Structure 1
Amino acid sequence: MALIPGDYLERVYAGFLGMNIGIRLGAPVEPLEWTFERIEDVYGDIKGYLKDYKTFSADDDANGPAFFIRSLYDDAADRELTAEDVGRAWLNYTRQGIGMFWWGGEGISTEHTAYLNLQRGILPPQSGSADQNGLTLAEQIGGQIFVDTWGLLFPGDSEKAADYAAKAASVSHDKNGIYGARFIAACIAEAFHAESIPEIISNALKTIPSDSTYAKVVNEVIDFHWEHPEDFRACRTFLEENWGYDKYPGVCHIIPNAGVCILALLYGNGSFERTIEIAAMCGWDTDCNAGKIGTITGVWNGTQKIPDHYRKPINDFIVLSSVSGYLNIMDIPTFAKELALLGYRVSKQPAPSGLLKSFKEEHIYFDFTLPGSTHGFQTNYPFKTFIRHSNEIGYETNGALEIFIDRMIEGEASKVFFKPFHRRKDFNDEKYKPSFAPKACSGQKVSMQIYCDKWQGEDFFVTPYVRNTFNEEDIKLEPLRLINQAWNNIEFIIPETDGAIIDEIGVMIESPSPLLNRSFGKLFIDEFQIAGKANYKIDFSKQAIEFQSVTPFAHHKGAASLEHGKMRCRSEVECSSFTGNYYAKNYKFRAAVQPLSGVQHMMILRAEGICRHYKAGFDGQNRVSLVLTDFGMKRLIEVPYKWTAGAEYWFEASCEGDMIEFFINGKRIFQVEDDRFKRGMFGFSVLGKGEALLSDIEVKEL
Structure 2
Amino acid sequence: MNIGIRLGAPVEPTIWTYERIQQTYGEITDYVKEFKNFAADDDANGPYYFLRALYDDAKDRDVTPNDVARAWLNYAREGIGMFWWGGYGVSTEHTAYINLKNGIPAPQSGSIQQNGRIIAEQIGGQIFIDTWGLVNPGNPKKAADYGEAAARVSHDGEGVWGARFFCAAISKAFETPDIGEILEAGLAQVPPDSLYKKVAEAVLAFHAEHPDDWRACRDMLERKWGYDKYKGVCHMIPNAGVCILAMIYGQGDFNRTVEIATMCGWDTDCNAGNVGTVLGVACGLKGIAEKYRGPINDAIVMSGISGFLNLLDIPTYAKELAILGYRLAGEPCPSELLDSFTERDLYFDFELPGSTHNIRISDPFFCRAKHSTEKAYKGTGSLEILFDRMTRGEQSKIYYKPFYTRDDFSDERYTPTFSPRVYSGQTVSMKLYLDQWSGNETMGFAPYIRLAKSKKEVLQGYRKLINGEWLEVEFTIPDTDGELIDEVGIVLEAYSTRKPKSLGRLFLDEFRIYGKAQYSIDFGKQQMSFGCVTPFSHNHGAWSLTDGSMYLMTAEQSEAYAGNYFSDDYSLTVTVNPQNGYSHMLAVRAQGAMRGYHAGLDGENGVSLYVNDFGFHKLASCPYEWTFDRDYELKLTAAGSVITLHIDGEEVLRTEDSRFGYGMYGVSTLGAARTFFKTLKVEEL
What is the TM-score with the length of structure 2 in the denominator?
A: 0.99
- The answer as to 2:519 corresponding to 1:519 is no
Please report how far the alpha carbon of residue 528 of structure 1 lies from its aligned counterpart in structure 2 after TM superposition: 0.3
Asked whether 1:22 is paired with 2:4, we answer yes
Residue number among 310, 317, 321 corresponding to 2:303 in the alignment = 321
Counterpart AA for 2:40? A
The alignment partner of 1:517 has SS state of coil
Equivalent residue, structure 2, for 1:374: 356
Tell whether the 8 Å contact from 1:378 to 1:417 is kept in structure 2 after alignment: yes
Q: Distance in 1 between matches of 2:607 and 2:145?
A: 46
Matched, 1:616 2:594: no
| Correspondence list, 1:197-208, <5 A | 197-208=179-190
Aligned residue for 2:572? 589
Deviations 1:443-494 (A, max 9, x none): 1000001111111111111100000111111111111111111111000011
Question: Unpaired runs of 5+ in structure 1?
Answer: 1-18
Match of 1:86 in 2: 68
The residue type paired with residue 95 of structure 1 is: R
Distance of 1:364 and 1:346 partners within structure 2? 25
- Name 1:40's counterpart in structure 2: 22
1:120 paired residue number:
102
Residue of structure 2 in register with 1:539 after alignment: 522
The amino acid of 1:618's aligned partner reads L
Q: Distance in 1 between matches of 2:126 and 2:354?
A: 29
**Structure 1 CA distance, aligned partners of 2:177 and 2:165?**
18
Equivalent residue, structure 2, for 1:664: 647
Instruction: Provide, for residues 508-546 of structure 1, a one-character-per-residue CA deviation record: whole Å limited to 9, x for no partner.
Output: 001210111211110011100000111111111111111
**Does the 8 Å contact 1:569/1:686 carry over to 2?**
no
Task: Give 1:238's match in structure 2, choosing from 194, 212, 220.
Answer: 220
Tell me the matched-pair count.
Answer: 684
1:94-127 CA deviation, whole Å, 9 max, x = no partner? 0000000000000000000000000001000000
Corresponding residue SS for 1:578:
strand
Counterpart-to-counterpart distance in 1, 2:105 and 2:656: 32
Question: In the alignment, does 2:473 pair up with 1:490?
Answer: yes
Of 489, 511, 514 in structure 2, the residue corresponding to residue 528 of structure 1 is 511
Matches within 5 A, 1:105-504: 105-457=87-439, 458-504=441-487
Distance 2:476 2:491 in 1: 16
Residue 31 of structure 1: how far off its partner (Å): 2.3
Amino acid at match of 2:397: K
Q: Give me the whole-angstrom Cα distance separating, in 1, the residues matched to 2:667 and 2:399.
A: 32
Residue 559 (structure 2) pairs with residue 558 (structure 1): no
**Residues 686 and 692 of structure 1 are in contact (CA less than 8 Å); yes or no, is this contact kept in structure 2?**
no
**Structure 1 residue 194: Cα displacement:** 2.5
Aligned twin of 1:65: 47
Q: 1:295-341 CA deviation, whole Å, 9 max, x = no partner?
A: 00000000111110000000000100000000001101111111110
- Residue 100 of structure 1 corresponds to 82
**Distance in 1, Cα, partners of 2:304 & 2:199:** 34
Question: Is the 2:552–2:675 contact (alpha carbons within 8 Å) kept by the matching residues of 1?
Answer: yes
SS of the counterpart of 1:312?
Answer: helix
2:615 partner amino acid: G
1:561 and 1:496 map into 2 onto residues whose CA distance is: 25
1:660-699 equivalent positions in 2, closer than 5 A: 660-699=643-682
1: distance between equivalents of 2:408 and 2:289? Answer: 25
CA distance in 2, matches of 1:388, 1:51: 23
User: For residue 586 of structure 1, what is the amino acid of its counterpart?
Assistant: D
Work out the CA distance in 1 between the residues paired with 2:13 and 2:561. 32
- Corresponding residue for residue 9 of structure 1: none
Amino acid of the structure 2 residue aligned with 1:568: Y
CA distance in structure 2 between the partners assigned to 1:156 and 1:412 by the alignment: 52
Alignment of 1:509 onto 2:492: yes
Deviations 1:178-232 (A, max 9, x none): 0000001111001011251011111111111000011100011000000000000
**Contact 1:558–1:573 (8 Å) recurs in 2:** yes
- Corresponding residue for residue 630 of structure 1: 613
**Cα deviation digits, residues 601-628 of structure 1 (max 9, x gap):** 1101100111000001012111111101
Q: Distance in 2 between matches of 1:470 and 1:180?
A: 45
* Deviation at residue 554 of structure 1 after TM alignment: 0.1
Q: Deviations over 1:543-567 (max 9, x none)?
A: 1111111110001111111101101
Q: For 2:318 and 2:624, how far apart are their aligned partners in 1?
A: 49
Q: CA RMSD in A?
A: 0.7
Amino acid in the other structure paired with 1:620? G
- Aligned partners of 2:13 and 2:265 also within 8 Å: no
Please say if residues 571 and 687 of structure 1, whose CA atoms lie closer than 8 Å, have aligned partners that are also in contact: no
Deviation sequence 1:43-91 (CA, Å, 0-9, x none): 0111000100000000000000100010000001011211100000000
> Which range moved further: 640-649 or 277-286?
640-649
AA in 1 matched with 2:562: T
Give the distance between the partners of 2:575 and 2:21, measured in 1 at CA.
54
Paired position in structure 1 for 2:582: 599
Partners of 1:82 and 1:168 in 2: how far apart?
A: 7
What is the rounded CA distance, in whole Å, between the counterparts of 2:244 and 2:6 in structure 1?
20
Q: Give the letter aligned to residue 409 of structure 1.
A: T
DSSP 3-state at the match of 2:296 = coil
Q: In the alignment, what sits opposite 1:6?
A: none
Output the amino acid matched with 1:193: E
User: Is the CA contact (8 Å cut-off) linking 1:369 and 1:400 kept in structure 2?
Assistant: yes
1:130-181 superposed Cα distances (whole Å, 9 cap, x missing partner): 1101100000000000010000011110000000000000000000000000
Distance 2:358 2:419 in 1: 17
Query: What TM-score, normalized to structure 1?
Result: 0.97
Task: Tell me if 1:571 matches 2:578.
Answer: no
- The letter for the 2-side match of 1:300 is A
Question: CA deviation digits over 1:255-311, x for unaligned, max 9?
Answer: 000000000000001000000000000000000000000000000000111110000
Deviation for aligned residue 1:396: 1.2
Paired residue secondary structure (1:221) = helix
Letter paired with 1:43: Y
For the residues of structure 2 that align with 1:468 and 1:541, how far apart are their CA atoms? 14
Unaligned runs of 5+ in 2: none
Letter in 1 for 2:185: N
In the TM superposition, what is the alpha-carbon distance from 1:686 to its structure 2 partner? Answer: 1.6
- Please give the per-residue CA displacement for 1:384-443, whole angstroms capped at 9, x wherever unaligned: 000111122211101111100001100101100000000111100111000000111011
Which segments of structure 1 move beyond 6 Å, counting only runs of 4 or more?
Answer: none
In structure 2, how many angstroms separate the alpha carbons of the residues matched to 1:35 and 1:407? 48
Structure 2 CA distance, aligned partners of 1:219 and 1:504? 51
**CA–CA distance in 1 between the matches of 2:340 and 2:642?**
32
Deviation, structure 1 residue 580: 0.4
Find the aligned partners of 2:570 and 2:199 in 1 and give their Cα distance. 55
**Conservation of the 8 A alpha-carbon contact between 1:148 and 1:295:** yes
